[in-house]
A and B are shown apart, each in its own frame.
Chain A
Amino acid sequence: MTDVKRGYVRPLDIKQGRVDMSHGSGGRMTAQLIAELFAVAFANDYLGQGDDGAVLPAAAGRLVMSTDCHVVSPLFFPGGDIGCLAVHGTINDVAMMGATPLYLTAGFILEEGFPFADLKRIVDSMARAAKEAGVPVVAGDTKVVERGHGDGVFITTTALGFLPEGVSLSGSRARPGDRILVSGTLGDHGMAIMAQRESLGFSSPIVSDTAALHGMVAALLASGADVHVLRDPTRGGLATTLNEIAEQSGVGMMIQEPALPINREVAAACELLGLDPLYVANEGKLVAVVAGEDAELALAALLAHPLGGRAAIVGTVHEDSHHFVQMTTGFGGRRIVDWLSGEQLPRIC
């Protein structure tokens, strides 16, 4: 029997407290942050092992792994926040390979002075998104950087998924005669973020589309349609994604402007800022390139899914040694839908 008292540790002051350098020191404060904030939110058996790495049951067959860094300003936006975005974004990368996402890891870089209340909101949102997706966060890490060396919080997530036998999706598999589908309206996420930025000074009802897509992918593959390529058109929007696929597959594409699903509010905000919705980011949409004869089958599968209500067939793949992505405009003309050069910036007149 010893008479040394167990050290009393005052719980984290989630309401008023802020991250300081000691929370990244690796000492008691770090352990406390992990225990009281992260472990509580993400609680699962693998994370609960508490060792340097999580021991996971191995699946026989092929695995898909993908990692994604998330930096977004503002951290909270209509329809989501950096937390759920960090879960959805990485799960979606794995899903676009046709794989079933199994596990996630998360790395946090926190800026000194970041309020615990905001951190908790983000971590809870992440935990909720992971739970809804059925993909546990099994390992993680936290570091703290000095004030001014970060932007509140940066999150890196890695996802590991299982690739069923017979599934083979790649950006290099688009063939002449294939049809191009999108699973819903374009540009919602990017415009939700942009409308939120302080300097714009207009309020908008636009909501980010951030969502995990593996359920819709599973439904699409289960339909039996011969799917060649899946991609999520995130940064750079649909235009960039189609150019990537055209280049990788060595083909040309022709999309039809009137077929593109775009929310009225997004179209209006783009009009106001001189932006093109084809280049604006999505976080809950996919592009599918499907064998021509299976296009209607694939469309029906997307439309039947809760996230695919405004899915549409928007174009076709053809031979073109220049790998141009072109569009027939609603006006009756034709133009190239080029790679984005640099960041899309508002025009002055």
Chain B
Amino acid sequence: MKYVDEFRDGGLAKGLAAAVSHAAVRGRDYSFMEFCGGHTHAIFRYGVADLLPANVHMIHGPGCPVCVLPIGRIDMAIELALEHGVTLCTYGDTLRIPASNGLSLLKAKSQGGDIRIVYSCADALALAQQHPERQVVFFAIGFETTTPPTAVVIRQAHDLGLENFSVLCCHVLTPAAIVHILESPEVRDDGTVALDGFIGPAHVSTVIGSRPYEFVAVKYRKPVVIAGFEPLDVMQAILMLVKQVNEGRAEVENEFSRAVTREGNVKAQRLVAEVFELRREFEWRGLGIVADSALSIRENFSRFDAEKRFPLSYRQVADNRACECGAILRGVKRPWQCKLFGTVCTPENPMGSCMVSSEGACAAHYSYGRYKESERV
């Protein structure tokens, strides 16, 4: 495949691996967090970690929108389908996430809920137009990448005067989560977690640009390299991070310059600002309540806000107490150090956020990398 295979070339990977090994100074450790689930997926799927020297460690961050979606929000989606009888349109990834009372969207569907997988929010809008007799709700999840399309359909619904379309908005923001991690006591104060830099988001950055990460470099003195989702992108970003650390620099660098600019997609940003506003706080599964970390629909468009159209209330649902997802997302623990990992918590029966989607640290580790434990023993 043109424009894809070039970024997965084994020969180039070998060359980059040699360069990383050469650059990484013996006797010191490097720990980098890839924020995005897309990077986590690439690292495991292509075996990137096998090409890294032993003193370069990757911490798998919270950038998987499915993983960080709190149970309470899925409960709301299920309530919409089962109690309020709406047609709920959702991206496929959310279907299996376990919710309260042994339910999931998949199980709610088997109980008669009208729940449909869509590939785009535009499909949900089209469904609402085709079925004026049905209330259609789009379950909007994701980071800044999926937010502009949601803004577009809300604007379209507004322009069309649709009365049967609304959005359950669960869009979250990347920079707020990065701050949350940097401000966690293990990283900030006691230094139990070594965090030498970040691989910055790929698709998110095409929208928001590289500028929003500059505070990470300036205020927290951590290098950030924005990278594409292909495995060679990830390798190149790691090399750039190692060099920054060696040279004592903390800058925002852009490996993904084929798609990301400093300013990002200004048109998309304006659209998002027109339709959405900042939520004071939002619960992230695994991280807890994070201030200014999510979006809600502005008053002007409140007719399309499912939380206003239907009597819904949010209830926080705690994860299993032995679940270590919070610590894993901050890099304090590794997946296999959690007592639940691979025993009661598996991709078939996830107990915590990191096991929910294949992009989560635990699920990726379980599905793609657990031979390493068997060899470690």
State the A residues within 8 Å of B (CB): 199-201, 258, 264, 267-268, 271, 273, 322, 324, 326, 328-336, 338, 341-342, 345-349
Contacts and interface: CB of A to CB of B under 8 A. Distances in A.
A258 to B, nearest CB: 8
B142 interface: yes
Contacts of B91: 346, 348
B50 interface: yes
A326 B119 contact: no
B4 interface: yes
- Interface of A, secondary structure class, is loop
Contacts of B66: 348
Contact of A336 (B1, B106, B117, B370): B370
Nearest to B363: A341
17 contacts: A201-B119, A271-B4, A331-B10, A331-B47, A335-B44, A336-B367, A338-B367, A341-B347, A342-B106, A345-B95, A346-B93, A347-B41, A347-B93, A347-B357, A348-B91, A348-B92, A349-B143
Contact of A331 (B8, B146, B348, B371): B8
A335 B45 contact: yes
Nearest to A338: B367
A9 B302 CA distance: 64
Given A331-B8, A332-B13, A345-B96, 18 more contacts: A324-B370, A330-B10, A331-B9, A331-B10, A331-B48, A331-B51, A331-B231, A333-B49, A333-B51, A334-B371, A335-B45, A336-B371, A338-B347, A338-B368, A342-B106, A346-B119, A347-B41, A348-B65
Nearest to B374: A322
B285 interface: no
Given A331-B47, A347-B358, A349-B37, A336 B368 contact: yes
Nearest to B357: A347
B326 interface: no
Given A324-B371, A338-B368, A347-B358, A332 B4 contact: no
Contacts of B348: 341-342
A271 B348 CA distance: 24
Contact of A267 (B1, B37, B106): B1
A18 to B, nearest CB: 24
A264 B9 CA distance: 16
B118 interface: yes
Contact of B371 (A200, A326, A348): A326
B123 interface: yes
Contacts of A341: 346-348, 367
In the complex, the 9 A-B pairs of residues with the closest C-beta atoms, listed nearest first: A333-B47, A345-B92, A333-B50, A331-B46, A341-B347, A335-B368, A338-B367, A348-B91, A329-B47
Contact of A332 (B17, B359, B369): B17
Given A267-B1, A349-B38, A333 B367 contact: no
Nearest to A324: B371
Nearest to B367: A338
Nearest to A326: B371
Contacts of B142: 348-349
A324 B17 CA distance: 26
Nearest to B10: A332
A74 B281 CA distance: 45
B1 A329 contact: no
Nearest to A348: B91
Nearest to A325: B371
B141 interface: yes
A349 B65 contact: yes
